Amino acid sequence: MTTRRFLLSLAAVGALALAGCDRAAPPHHFNAIDLTGASYAHGFSLPDFDGKPRTLADFAGKVTVVFFGYTQCPDACPTTMAELSGILKTLGPDAKRVQVVFITVDPSRDTPALLKNYVTNFRPDFLALRGDEAQTQAIIKDFKLVVEKVPGKTADSYTIDHTAGTYIFDPQGRIRLFASQSLDPTLLTADLQALLAEKAT
């Protein structure tokens, strides 16, 4: 190979390398179920534990993580809330750009005071929302939740079987993901980081 041909080949390799650097990173493959473009789970309009009306618009610019449950839930609810608290700790400064919202499916027993004590015990910036019975049924329908009351020994000792998963909205308020309770918290952390890194469109 002549010196000229060698130099041209070297220049071509260098150009390809630079082109590769300019290429955008491949899109993140979400670990949770991708709900982008779903025609349900439109959001919420409910009072929080202090009586302040809340909608997704209140959290514009943040990833909003929504979990449906109730304070007397024996397993899925405390487990998920503890995992979300751990995830936000892992996110470090980026945790300020994530809002966790707990929506009760048991408004008859979950008073505002009880909800506030419950969620802030996991993390002080967690919020809980509580609607009346009609509002609760409407949001259950909109999110396509499974919610079934299981009678207990007394009228007030019932439990509630419910969809145990987390709905995630991007900073533009669009539904993007559903994370089942079985999803490894490390994988969910990666999904949240990917949403936080997305450019607004």
- Residues annotated within a binding site for Cu cation: 73, 77, 162
Distances (CA, A) of 201 to 41, 134, 172: 20, 35, 8
* Contacts of residue 26, Cβ cutoff 8 Å, sequence gap at least 6: none
